[in-house]
Amino acid sequence: MNRDTAQRVSRRDIGLVRRTLTHLTAAQKITCVIVIALVAFVWWHLLNRILDFGRSIDYGGQYALGAETATLLQRYNPFFWWGLIALISLLLVYLLYGFVAATQRRVQRKLLARHTVEQLVQQLSAPALDVLDWAWQDRRDPLSVDDLQRALSEMRSQRYQKITLAREHQALLDAAVRHKKQ
């Protein structure tokens, strides 16, 4: 194994962390998909009922409004109902986005179980462990799903090479400071 290969986080490490995250976040993802599908199904049926109701309105009998006004209302009636549909759809998208974001934040705060951390420590390579160590920023709290997600992202973006370079820079700087003090 050459130096370049030894200093990289392997695809196996990335796959292991990705599978662990998938296992830890599966319930949240399934719940979100079910809720979104259910809301979309209900909204589709309500949308059709609203549009059918809008089509059934006849302004021809509104003599008090006048013939021109009734014709104008009849002509622009579909636009009103489609506008209402668009507004309600935007509201639903906003609410669903908030729901998904809230469940995602909740799962990110989930702490890793001891056996999960033990499995990761036993199976990850030294470079991957260095990246996980780097991603775990608040040592007062146990590792969480958010820390693991950050580690996965950093593994994919070659964080280990940056950590190694920072260590080399620190060693050079320390040696220079020691040399200047002598």
The answer on pLDDT for 85 being more than 90 is yes
Which is more confident, 175 or 5?
Answer: 175
Residue 25: predicted pLDDT: 96
Tell me, yes or no, if the pTM score tops 0.85: no
Residue 60: predicted pLDDT: 64
SS3 144: strand
Residue 1: predicted pLDDT: 38
Give CA separation, 81 vs 52, 72, 157, in Å.
Answer: 10, 15, 48
Mean of pLDDT values over 29-36: 98
C-alpha torsion sign, points 14, 30, 115, 154: positive
Q: Which residues contact 12 (CB under 8 A, 6 or more apart)?
A: 125
Report the range of poorest mean pLDDT among 33-42, 105-114, 154-163. Answer: 154-163
Number of domains within the chain: 1
User: What confidence tens digit (pLDDT) does each residue in 119-147 have?
Assistant: 999 999 999 999 999 999 999 999 999 99
Mean pLDDT of the chain: 90
What is the rounded distance in angstroms from the CA atom of residue 128 to the CA atom of residue 18?
13
What is the rounded distance in angstroms from the CA atom of residue 128 to the CA atom of residue 152?
9
Range of the structural domain that residue 42 is part of: 3-181
